[in-house]
Amino acid sequence: MTYTQASLDALRQSGDELADATVATLFERGEVGTFNTLMRYVSTAGAPLPDGLPDVAREYLNATAAPPSW
């Protein structure tokens, strides 16, 4: 696939609704620090998610574990 400046500009304007909602929930619940601390230990692809990870983050990471089909 070849990207043009116009196609890249269009992609820059699109959001990721699931990611945006997950981050918003982490901030609302005051769980950003917990998420950041625990995710520092997940450095290997396929490593199990750590205990204590906020539920909303665990759900997001499980839902997006496989790359998109495109």
**Residue 55 burial by Cβ neighbours in a 10 Å radius (0-12, 13-18, 19+):** exposed
Q: Where are the domains of the chain?
A: 16-63
pTM, full prediction: 0.68
Can you give the pLDDT at residue 45? 65
CA angle 39, 21, 27 (to 5 degrees): 60
Q: What is the pLDDT of residue 43?
A: 62
Cα–Cα distance for residue pair 47/29, rounded to 1 Å = 25
Once rounded to an integer, what is the mean pLDDT over residues 4-26?
A: 92
User: Per residue in 31-58, pLDDT tens?
Assistant: 999 999 888 877 666 678 889 999 999 9
